[in-house]
Amino acid sequence: MKNRFTLAALRHFACQAFEARHFSKHHARLSAELLVRADARGVDSHGVARLSGYIRLIEAGRLNPEPVFAWKQTFPTLCTLDADKSIGFIAASAAMEKAIEMAATTGCGMVAVKNSNHFGIAGQYALMPTGHNMIGMAFTNASPLVAPTHSTERLLGTNPIAVAIPALVNKPFVLDMATTTAANGKLEILERKKQQTPVGWIQQKDGKDTTDPSGLKSGGALRPLGSFPHSGSHKGYGLGAVVDILSGVLSGANFGPWVPPFVAFLPMAEQLVGEGIGHFFMAFRVDGFMDANDFKGRMDLWMETFRNAQHQGEEPVLVPGDPEWALEAEREQNGVVLLAPVVEDLNTLAIKLGIAPLAAD
Amino acid sequence: MKNRFTLAALRHFACQAFEARHFSKHHARLSAELLVRADARGVDSHGVARLSGYIRLIEAGRLNPEPVFAWKQTFPTLCTLDADKSIGFIAASAAMEKAIEMAATTGCGMVAVKNSNHFGIAGQYALMPTGHNMIGMAFTNASPLVAPTHSTERLLGTNPIAVAIPALVNKPFVLDMATTTAANGKLEILERKKQQTPVGWIQQKDGKDTTDPSGLKSGGALRPLGSFPHSGSHKGYGLGAVVDILSGVLSGANFGPWVPPFVAFLPMAEQLVGEGIGHFFMAFRVDGFMDANDFKGRMDLWMETFRNAQHQGEEPVLVPGDPEWALEAEREQNGVVLLAPVVEDLNTLAIKLGIAPLAAD
């Protein structure tokens, strides 16, 4: 198929693009790898489709291609990183590495990051500690698109929660979820197909329900997980709030309505309350609680128990992460089909940056 | 009103009841305080209405009134507690105190608890660190009543997540939520009133939706937060799973379908995979990230921003914890009205234990 590309080709292209905008070789390679990991795992909205958006942030002076990190540490387990307007990929990777390093000696490490930008998919940072027999958690705030329960204002981002937990023979458990009923990427897909959304995904400007996926663009808002007060939307709002507070309030980044938009052409809020967007990372050793292999064996039992549960209809019960692991294996093999507008956007980008165009498979 | 009781009277009664079943004076007082705190904060299903249930667990030999705690610690920040079949109140309080103690010196502390019983409401343990300028989190697994997305089997409890965060002039932020669309207690209230539930709270034995609140008792299940696959129920399931893994798999307690039921007359699962039910606690210092007063001032700004948000209709936007703080202040003043069957149950209990009956206000 014409628009099918290998992951290697996507990585190479993204790497060239970042280098053309003054990323170091190492930072370009790491950013490209983490960007394309989103395509591999099926979160297409966070993959190469966003590459030109990051480049525009550099051009607007909001993303620094040559950041100098400043670490502040008072206790052996806790640390704040000022990421100097770095791309989120680099800041998040460094922060989770630091959390793992602290956890290796003390048992647990937590890092709050300010002055950063979007970091792609949260799950890949949560996964980093699992290879060290640790549990990982990753959080980030994001541009305000979500109205709290009862509100007509957009005050929170889709603020994801990611938790990854190692097992013995199984791939790690990975929960990686927006704290909204549906992620923004899913809206865009429906809008492109001119289809309606299910009830409860978005609200209009006046707060009333709508199934028109363009409702978000005409002043509406995404609804928190739970959708409505009678079905628990205050819980999704509360979870999104915790993510905003850990990532933004605690780190010294912006929070709530002040979080800068991802798109460079949208104006920043006035009188910012912090620097950039914020993330929060956590890693802790499972052998601080029980023997690591015993724990991982228990995780295998947990996973098999849930996968073998009785189910209604044809859909089996999945363990969080199962669909992404399956998709990743398939796409490592067969590559990814990009939508025509994404390919076109990347070709335009190649011309602008003076790099070789993306090579189809 | 006849069935109105002061919190002091409820505390005194519960304390006498626990002492009559061989709790030490200190353990009886602490358990009574934590039990009645649920009534004070409006979670009536977890308050004195459950007292006779705890007493029956003692009589069945499943709850040890004189537990000897065994702590296992390998790293300065992590610890496992074998609670020796303790009532959850005592185990959870001791565990969170230990987490605070570890956090005081290292920045962060985490405690997993096994071999415990139900601990009432999670929020009150999450609140403990806030007085030390720390953020607190509390989790517990519970008897299986919840079917994962697509499943017809009950494999998870209502597995709550509680997070408490201190502010400067405001009461702490407290999120305390079941990971289901609705808590079991709300079902019981509707059933008593012979009303239907909203769509999405429960499913029948065959997995189909029902609005009959008794559906749970005839082999149905609670639905995870998000209710249906199209509205994100895999997220509620994933959150409940994380709580089960941290509380049960990591601690050495039972997990999933093996978690023992609260009611003493229901049989335990065969071939248990651990001991008792499990909890997980976390405390960490905010001044490990920024000056504590700066952080708490930023929390005040966060809270005021959300409370002052534009809203649809008459309901204002609330900060998680606001309704409970308001109810607690009112009930400290005016006491609590108990339902007639609860009063009757407590009077029967008083006769059985040979203690003075509950004194109405």
Q: Where in chain A is the domain with CATH 1.10.1530.10?
A: 1-64+322-361
**Position A216 confidence tier, pLDDT thresholds 50, 70, 90:** confident
- Whether A74 contacts chain B with CB within 8 A: yes
DSSP letter for each residue of A245-257: IIIIITTTS--GG
B107, B109, B309 member nearest A76 (Cβ): B107
User: Which candidate from A152, A249, A286 shows the least CB-CB separation from B310?
Assistant: A152
Q: State whether B241 and A152 contact (CB < 8 Å).
A: no
Structure letter (DSSP) for residue A224: B
Assign B126 to helix, strand or coil: helix
Task: Give the neighbor-by-neighbor strand order of the sheet with A209-210.
Answer: A209-210, A202-203, A221-222
CB contact under 8 A, A151 and B310: yes
Distance spanning both ends of chain A, measured CA to CA? 8
Contacts of B250 in chain A (CB under 8 A): 135, 286, 289-290, 295
Contact A225 B236 (CB under 8 A): yes
Which pLDDT tens digit goes with each residue over B320-333?
999 999 999 999 99
Question: Closest Cα partner for B240 from B321, B140, B123, B122?
Answer: B140
Do B96 and B128 meet the contact criterion of CB atoms below 8 Å apart? yes
Q: What is the pLDDT of residue B165?
A: 99
Q: Which of A149, A175, A145 is nearest to A158 (CA)?
A: A145
Mean pLDDT over each residue of chain B, to the nearest integer: 96
Q: Which residues pair with B75 in a beta bridge?
A: B78
Contact call for A230 and B175, based on CB within 8 A: no
The answer to whether residue B289 neighbours chain A at the CB level (below 8 Å) is yes
pLDDT tens-digit readout, B222-239: 999 999 999 999 999 999
Does A63 touch chain B if contact means CB atoms closer than 8 Å?
A: no
Return the percentage of chain A with pLDDT > 90, whole number: 89
The encoded tokens of residue B226 equal 């998000």
User: Averaged over B238-255, what is the pLDDT?
Assistant: 98
Q: How far apart are CA B311 and CA A221, in angstroms?
A: 13
B73, closest residue in chain A (CA to CA): A288
The number of residues in chain A equals 361
d(CA B98, CA B56): 29
Fold of B70-179+230-288: Ribosomal Protein S8; Chain: A, domain 1 (3.30.1370)
Chain A and chain B share a number of CB contacts under 8 A equal to 266
Task: State the average pLDDT over residues A228-254.
Answer: 98
A1 pLDDT band, cuts 50/70/90, is low
A298 touches chain B (CB under 8 A): yes
- Joined together, the tokens standing for residue A52 give 């030109």
Identify the closest residue of chain A to B148 by CA–CA distance. Answer: A317
The set of residues, in sequence order, having a beta carbon less than 8 Å from that of B129 and lying 6+ positions away, is B96, B99, B100, B103, B135, B136, B164, B283, B284
Q: Which CATH class is domain A67-181+223-320?
A: alpha beta
B70 lies within 8 A of chain A by CB: no
Query: Which tokens in the block code for residue B211?
Result: 């609005």
Is some CB atom of chain A closer than 8 A to the CB atom of B270?
A: no
Supply the pLDDT for residue B56: 96
| Test the A interface: residue of B77, B82, B111, B154 with most A CBs within 10 Å | B77
- Is A245 close to B302, i.e. CB distance below 8 A? yes
Query: pLDDT tens-digit profile of B262-274?
Result: 887 788 888 999 9
Phi and psi at residue A148, to the nearest 5°: -60, 160
Amino acid identity at B66? E
**CATH 2.60.40.1730 fits domain A1-64+322-361:** no
Q: Do A78 and B108 touch (CB under 8 A)?
A: yes
Name the amino acid, one letter, at B58: I
Chain B residue numbers touching A80 (CB-CB < 8 A): 289-290
**A67 interface with B at CB cutoff 8 Å:** no
Distance from CA of A252 to the nearest CA of B (A): 8
- Interchain proximity B177–A273, CB inside 8 Å: no
Listed in sequence order, the residues at least 6 apart from A272 whose beta carbon sits closer than 8 Å to its beta carbon are A254, A258, A260
Residue (of B93, B74, B75) closest to B83 by Cα position: B93
Q: Model-level pTM greater than 0.90?
A: yes
User: Which residues, other chains included, contact A48 with Cβ-Cβ below 8 Å and sequence gap of 6+?
Assistant: A10, A13, A14, A35, A36, A39, A338, A342, A346
Going by the DSSP 8-state scheme, the letter that residue B358 receives in this structure is: P
The residues of chain B that CATH labels 3.30.60.50 are: 182-222
Residues 15-34 of B with CB under 8 A from A: none
Q: What is the pLDDT of residues A260-302, one digit of tens each?
A: 998 877 888 889 999 999 999 999 999 999 999 999 999 999 9
Q: How far is the CA of A261 from the CAs of A118, A349, B277, B284, in angstroms?
A: 10, 21, 44, 30
Q: Quick check: A45 pLDDT over 90? A: no
Q: Given CB atoms, is A238 within the 8 Å cutoff of chain B?
A: yes
Q: By the 8 A CB rule, do A4 and A360 touch? A: yes
The set of residues, in sequence order, having a beta carbon less than 8 Å from that of A276 and lying 6+ positions away, is A83, A85, A114, A115, A116, A117, A253, A254, A260
Sign of CA dihedral B102, B104, B106, B112: positive
> Chain B contacts of A256, Cβ < 8 Å?
302, 305-306
Indicate the residue type of B224: P
Average pLDDT over residues A93-120: 98
Mean pLDDT of B308-323: 96
Mean confidence (pLDDT) of chain A: 96
Confirm or reject contact between B338 and chain A (CB < 8 A): no
Between chains, do B78 and A108 touch, taking CB under 8 Å as contact? yes
> What fold is seen in the domain B182-222?
Wheat Germ Agglutinin (Isolectin 2); domain 1 (3.30.60)
If DSSP codes are grouped into helix, strand and coil, which group holds residue A7? helix
Is the CB of residue A148 less than 8 Å away from at least one CB of chain B?
yes
With a cut of 80, say whether residue A30 has pLDDT above it: yes
Location of structure tokens 């073998």: A308
What would the pLDDT profile of B148-206 be if each residue is shown by its tens digit?
A: 999 999 999 999 999 999 999 999 999 999 999 998 888 888 887 889 999 999 999 99
Mapped to the 3 state alphabet, what secondary structure does chain A carry? CCCEECHHHHHHHHHHHHHHCCCCHHHHHHHHHHHHHHHHCCCHHHCHHHHHHHHHHHHCCCCCCCCCCEEEEEECCEEEEECCCCCHHHHHHHHHHHHHHHHHHHCEEEEEEEEECCCCCCHHHHHHHHHHCEEEEEEECCCCCECCCCECCCCECCCCEEEEECCCCCCCEEEEECCECCCHHHHHHHHHCCCCCCCCCEECCCCCEECCHHHHCCCCEECECCCCHHHCHHHHHHHHHHHHHHHHHCCCCCCHHHCCCCCCCCCCCCCCCCCCEEEEEEEEEHHHCCCHHHHHHHHHHHHHHHHCCCECCCCCCCCCCHHHHHHHHHHHHHCEECCHHHHHHHHHHHHHHCCCCCCCC
B155/A305 Cβ within 8 A: yes
Return the amino acid letter for B81: L
Torsion of CA A225, B39, B275, B142, to 10 degrees: -30
Largest CA distance in chain A: 56
Domain with CATH 3.30.1370.60 in chain B: 70-179+230-288
Report the DSSP pairing between strands A277-285 and A134-140.
antiparallel
Q: Which residue of B154, B173, B186, B235 is the best one to mutate when testing the A interface, meaning the one whose CB has the most A CBs within 10 A?
A: B235
ipTM > 0.95, yes or no: yes
Instruction: Grade residue A159 by pLDDT with cuts at 50, 70 and 90.
Output: very high
CA distance B45 to B184: 8
Question: Would you say A235 and A226 are in contact if contact means Cβ atoms under 8 Å apart?
Answer: yes
**A-chain residue closest to B319, CA distance:** A238
Specify whether the CB–CB gap between B253 and B141 falls below 8 A.
Answer: yes
Domain with CATH 3.30.1370.60 in chain A: 67-181+223-320
Among the listed residues A141, A144, A145, A142, the one whose alpha carbon sits nearest the alpha carbon of residue A215: A145
Task: Answer yes or no: do B207 and A251 touch at CB < 8 A.
Answer: no
Per the CB < 8 A criterion, the answer to whether A170 and A303 are in contact is yes
Fold of B4-63+322-353: Hypothetical Oxidoreductase Yiak; Chain: A, domain 1 (1.10.1530)
Query: Does residue A83 surpass a pLDDT of 70?
Result: yes
Q: How far apart are the first and last CA of chain B?
A: 8
Does A361 score more than 80 pLDDT?
no
> Do B241 and A320 count as a contact with CB atoms less than 8 A apart?
yes
- Contact between A200 and A149 under an 8 Å Cβ cutoff? The reply is no
Q: Which residues of A touch B239 (CB under 8 A)?
A: 161, 175, 177, 239
Per-residue pLDDT for B1 more than 60? no
User: Is the CB of B150 less than 8 angstroms away from the CB of A318?
Assistant: yes
| Nearest-CB residue to A78 (from B173, B234, B288) | B288
Question: Alpha-carbon distance A11 to A17, whole Å?
Answer: 10
Distance between CA B222 and CA B314 in Å, rounded?
30
pLDDT for position A56: 96
Cβ-Cβ contacts under 8 Å, B181 against chain A: 226, 231-232
Nearest residue of chain B to residue A305 (CA atoms): B256
Report CB contact under 8 Å: A75, B309. no
Tell me which of A210-214, A237-241, B175-179 is least confident: A210-214
What residues of B are in contact with residue A244 (Cβ under 8 Å)?
A: 302
